[in-house]
Structure 1
């Protein structure tokens, strides 16, 4: 994660916002008082919130673990060729 001073952030606000938005990487803004903050796009923030929700939900994490186990052992659902054709033909 890139880090810049609050003065540099203020002087280059538009370009920093464009950079954060285009690269989808947050920027840490440092302050002399030590109260740093992070600038990130709303899209990235929402994605982070969704990830945190899943990680904190034990039922979802259990479903993921079961799914991963069945995938690794190739014991999961295998559609027929007809089902694959139905799904992929538009």
Structure 2
């Protein structure tokens, strides 16, 4: 994650916003004497919210984690499309 001081962020506001949206990577904004903040694209934020929603249910989270583990282990199947 890139890090910018508040002053650098303020001086490069438009280009930083473009970079966050184009690269889909958040930027950490630091401040002297203040708590840091993270700048994230709307698309990234919506993906985060969706993931949090899906993982909120322990049963659903378990199923998703099992499916991810199967894909990572190569335990997938390929099927032909059914033609109408």
Interval of TM-score (by shorter of Structure 1 and Structure 2)? 0.7 to 0.9
More helix by share: 1
Task: Measure the CA separation in 2 of the matches of 1:4 and 1:56.
Answer: 32
| Distance apart, 1:40 and its partner CA | 0.7
Match of 1:52 in 2: 52
TM, length-normalised to structure 1: 0.71
> Structure 2 vs 1, CA of residues 27 and 69 (structure 1 numbering), >3 Å: closer, same or farther?
closer
TM, length-normalised to structure 2: 0.76
Q: Over aligned residues, Cα RMSD in angstroms?
A: 2.8
Larger Rg: 1
Task: Measure the CA separation in 2 of the matches of 1:28 and 1:60.
Answer: 31
Match of 1:24 in 2: 24
Match of 1:9 in 2: 9
Partner-residue secondary structure (3-state), 1:36: strand
* Residues matched between the structures, number: 82
Task: Measure the CA separation in 1 of the matches of 2:65 and 2:36.
Answer: 37
Identify unmatched segments of 5+ residues in structure 1: none
More strand by share: 2
Identify unmatched segments of 5+ residues in structure 2: none
- Whether 1:39 aligns to 2:30 is no
> Structure 2 vs 1, CA of residues 63 and 3 (structure 1 numbering), >3 Å: closer, same or farther?
same
- Whether 1:63 aligns to 2:63 is yes
